[in-house]
Structure 1
Amino acid sequence: MKDLVNDGNSLLGASTYNDGIKRRDFLKASLGAGFASAALPVVAQTVIQTDTEGLDASDSILVINGQDVPVYRAQPRGKTDVPVILVISEIFGVHEHIKDVARRFAKQGYMAIAPDLFVRQGDPTKVANIADLMKDIIAKTPDAQVMSDLDTVVAWAKQRGGNTEKLAITGFCWGGRITWLYAAHNLNVKAGVAWYGRLVGESTANSPKHPIDVAQNLKVPVLGLYGGKDTGIPLDSVERMRAALDKGNSRSSIHVYPNSGHAFHADYRPSYNEADAKDGWNRALAWFRQHGVS
């Protein structure tokens, strides 16, 4: 299985991914938008900001089994029957960076939806440290609940004019793991892109399976984007995942950036690698186009 190669789209300039994306001072953006405090430490530098020109972008509430679930939706203004992409957050929830990623996809013609999948377990922005966040919220969020919530979000997107025959999913860190799992859960997904999502782990009641467990039978093509210096996701686990995908004759692929660590796409964190983030973005868009989600 070979890595996806650049399909001829050149990387864009240093200050943009595409039209409408601008940089401005990080502190101004984060203080105004309420970044998760648990995401600290961050770097006091510029952060990519995508405007809403030409978009319909807003927060909504979706009621699922009596629970109010916040969702952020961005899509081209005045257009219907557009492809749908689920944008799955890191452990820090749907803060401004994740909303910005949704707007970036909307600028590319997608209805992009970022749901708050932790709402029943708690608010990541209220947790002071990562250890407590993992223990009190992440570990208590069942995979089955997440899969069910995403199914409902897809149905909601269809009701609002999204073309769920062209359904994609992408996610970061925790959301990368969910991307692999949802691609196995919902065969109507046309393609996924998983950014540095954990691949292996112990089975628990809330997380009975991990991506390595579904790889051999995976039908939906997923592109995995990983960092060679990621201390939390060892390269041996990435190679195990590659071998499992190959064994199942999967159409999925994994690309490793040797000079990046974890969260290399997160432009509000010190881990950000601009060159690899841009390359990954172009690979993601090309992957979706290759599999008919555009």
Structure 2
Amino acid sequence: MNDAMWAGTVTVGGYGGAELEGYLARPLGDAPRGGVVVIHHMPGYDPGTKEFVRTFAAHGYAAIAPNLYSREGAGVSPDDQAAAARAKGGVPDEQLVGDVAGAAAHLNALEHANGRIGVIGHCSGGRHAFLAACDLDLDAAVDCYGAFVVNDPPADQPTTARSVLAKAPNLSCPLLGLFGEEDRFPAPDEVAALDEELTRLGKEHEFHTYAGAGHAFFAVERPAFRPAAAKDGWERIFAFFGRHLAA
């Protein structure tokens, strides 16, 4: 694997004509490549998100993470942007879809793009990946333990997010779901309900639930990290994108 790449900050067009900061990584070779939009989690546009972007570039994809909290002010630290966005209950769904569409267009405008786009997100980003795959025409989507896809959040949760299960008939592409058996958001019964609904609708999907893993098991910087689950999850992600984003 030749993992030589360019990586750095770019400007991405977003919902309503907004200009967003984004982190882009792409291989230096000239082979045709698919694109991956990495949707950051509720804690924001952080070093872990950028590492995910570089990991996809090392595996031959052009990848970009738009900073969904860019509207909270230029020159403001990502942590402060995230705090301001969380105080508002997160990113509105329509805005999220427009920002992902802008990031996908940015990837497709790059040299050597093959026109195929996947999305991936963790936690709130997992819900957003599912939402984007229902509202946009995409080629593959990965939901890593996305909360509040099936059920509304509890009243004490500081988010305006609501269930998007009703959008399932519009799912535009194959979906890979990776979940922890000990997670509460989403809990195993929510994962089962989503699986049942997608099966009923005839939507192509594959779900994997890991024993001994809870929420955020991909996050190497957290106590929740579970190496075996994360390793298997990455292998499944690359196999899945390999099938659906190849030239």
| TM-score for both structures, normalised by structure 1 | 0.73
* Residue in 2 that maps onto 1:39: none
Q: Distance in 1 between matches of 2:234 and 2:204?
A: 19
Asked if 1:125 is matched to 2:79, the reply is yes
Task: Return the letter of the residue paired with 1:180.
Answer: F
* Residue in 2 that maps onto 1:4: none
* Residue in 1 that maps onto 2:113: 163
* Residue in 2 that maps onto 1:145: 95
Deviation at 1:78, TM superposition (A): 4.4
* Residue in 2 that maps onto 1:41: none
Q: Distance in 2 between matches of 1:268 and 1:241?
A: 29
Given the superposition, is the C-alpha separation of residues 293 and 213 from structure 1 closer, same or farther in structure 2, using an over 3 Å criterion? Answer: farther
Quick one: which of 149, 164, 176 aligns to 2:126?
176
Quick one: which of 15, 18, 29 aligns to 1:67?
18
Task: Return the letter of the residue paired with 2:68.
Answer: L
Asked if 1:154 is matched to 2:111, the reply is no
CA contact (8 A) 1:227 1:256 kept: yes
Deviation at 1:121, TM superposition (A): 4.3
Q: Distance in 1 between matches of 2:20 and 2:68?
A: 8
Quick one: which of 139, 154, 167 aligns to 1:190?
139
Alignment of 1:222-233 (within 5 A): 222-233=175-186
Deviation at 1:125, TM superposition (A): 0.6
Quick one: which of 105, 109, 112 aligns to 2:60?
109
Deviation at 1:156, TM superposition (A): 1.8
Given the superposition, is the C-alpha separation of residues 207 and 150 from structure 1 closer, same or farther in structure 2, using an over 3 Å criterion? Answer: same
**What secondary structure is seen at the aligned counterpart in 1 of 2:214?**
coil
Measured against aligned partners, the alpha-carbon deviations of 1:92-116 in whole angstroms (never above 9, x if no partner) come to 1121111111111101100010110
CA contact (8 A) 1:71 1:114 kept: yes
* Residue in 1 that maps onto 2:50: 99
**What secondary structure is seen at the aligned counterpart in 1 of 2:216?**
coil
Quick one: which of 20, 25, 28 aligns to 1:77?
28
Deviation at 1:68, TM superposition (A): 3.1
Quick one: which of 226, 232, 235 aligns to 1:279?
232
* Residue in 1 that maps onto 2:87: 136
Asked if 1:55 is matched to 2:5, the reply is yes
**What secondary structure is seen at the aligned counterpart in 1 of 2:71?**
coil
Given the superposition, is the C-alpha separation of residues 134 and 213 from structure 1 closer, same or farther in structure 2, using an over 3 Å criterion? Answer: farther
| TM-score for both structures, normalised by structure 2 | 0.86
Unpaired runs of at least 5, structure 1: 1-18, 21-52
Measured against aligned partners, the alpha-carbon deviations of 1:7-62 in whole angstroms (never above 9, x if no partner) come to xxxxxxxxxxxx79xxxxxxxxxxxxxxxxxxxxxxxxxxxxxxxx6111001123
Task: Return the letter of the residue paired with 2:144.
Answer: W
Unpaired runs of at least 5, structure 2: 154-159
Given the superposition, is the C-alpha separation of residues 148 and 54 from structure 1 closer, same or farther in structure 2, using an over 3 Å criterion? Answer: same
Asked if 1:90 is matched to 2:44, the reply is no
Deviation at 1:290, TM superposition (A): 2.3
CA contact (8 A) 1:167 1:293 kept: no
* Residue in 1 that maps onto 2:156: none
Asked if 1:256 is matched to 2:209, the reply is yes
Measured against aligned partners, the alpha-carbon deviations of 1:108-139 in whole angstroms (never above 9, x if no partner) come to 10001011012224665127xx9x667514x2
Deviation at 1:286, TM superposition (A): 0.7
Q: Distance in 2 between matches of 1:200 and 1:124?
A: 29
* Residue in 1 that maps onto 2:194: 241
RMSD over aligned Cα atoms: 2.5
Given the superposition, is the C-alpha separation of residues 109 and 70 from structure 1 closer, same or farther in structure 2, using an over 3 Å criterion? Answer: same
Structure label with greater radius of gyration? 1
Task: Return the letter of the residue paired with 2:219.
Answer: A
